[in-house]
Amino acid sequence: MTWKRKVLIGLIASLLCAAPWAYAQWQGTQGQSITAVPSGTQTIEGTVLLNDTNLDTRTDALNITDYGHHEIHAGSAYFAVRSELGDTSDDVEVRIATPDTTKWAHMVITIDCALACTAELWNPTTMTHVVGNVITPMNRDHNSSNTSGLTVCHTPGGSQAGTANLLQYIGAATTNGRIVNGGGTGNRTEFILDQNSSYLIRVTSRADSNAMSIILDWYEHTNH
């Protein structure tokens, strides 16, 4: 592509952004002209640039949502939480099982505790699913009938073997016999969970009269 053509395409894009009601299409072959096309389509070399539905009706501002928020509107975003009160050495456990499909879970895991605690994660886990302790994921779009492909439970059965893949100490340690404060841990970057696998998240209290929460926030998207 010559520099003249690059400049021309840039000018076309600028004009479309400045005057979104003016629809135009670049025909794709150097030397061809820009011609009017039907309302609702704006392309340069076949790529859609703007559409009236992307614009705020009052201000003509371009409306954009990030991908995670898009998945909420698509009915593919879910939420689950397990909270418990406990004393020193008490723990909260959540087990996650993923299906053997390419519809993968993109998950953000957050741990909250009122006082000091230790967070650990295993993948895979040797602990087993307990039907009576199922946590049903909530669809973030309450108008959607979609359900999650993950199987989640609290207080799974059996025991965990091996060293945790991840470990983090949260909150202050004991100072003069007193816990100063708690805290939280999370990652703004999502994990893509293994297909056909299992995870254990465990939070262990390092103080009496503690409040501990495991918060799971995810969407499910078919990998291509």
Task: Please determine, for residue 186, whether its predicted confidence score (pLDDT) is greater than 80.
Answer: no
Q: 46 in a domain, yes or no?
A: yes
Task: Please determine, for residue 103, whether its predicted confidence score (pLDDT) is greater than 90.
Answer: yes
Q: 97 in a domain, yes or no?
A: yes
Give me the domain span that covers residue 44.
3-54
Residue 184 or 176, more confident: 184
One domain, residues 47 and 111: no
Cis peptide before 124 (omega within 30 of 0): yes
Average pLDDT over residues 185-212: 89
CA distance 212 to 182: 10
What would the pLDDT profile of 34-77 be if each residue is shown by its tens digit?
Answer: 444 444 544 444 444 455 566 767 777 777 777 778 888 889 99
CA distance 106 to 116: 28
Task: Please determine, for residue 204, whether its predicted confidence score (pLDDT) is greater than 80.
Answer: yes
Q: 99 in a domain, yes or no?
A: yes
One domain, residues 118 and 81: yes
One domain, residues 82 and 122: yes
One domain, residues 44 and 127: no
Highest mean pLDDT among 48-62, 108-122, 160-174: 108-122
Q: 50 in a domain, yes or no?
A: yes
Task: Please determine, for residue 150, whether its predicted confidence score (pLDDT) is greater than 50.
Answer: yes
Q: Helix, strand or coil for residue 150?
A: coil
Q: State the pLDDT at residue 30.
A: 43
* Count: domains in the chain: 2
Residue 92 CB: number of other CB atoms within 10 A?
25
One domain, residues 188 and 98: yes
CA distance 78 to 140: 5
Q: 22 in a domain, yes or no?
A: yes
Are 78 and 139 contacting, i.e. CB atoms less than 8 angstroms apart? yes
One domain, residues 160 and 210: yes
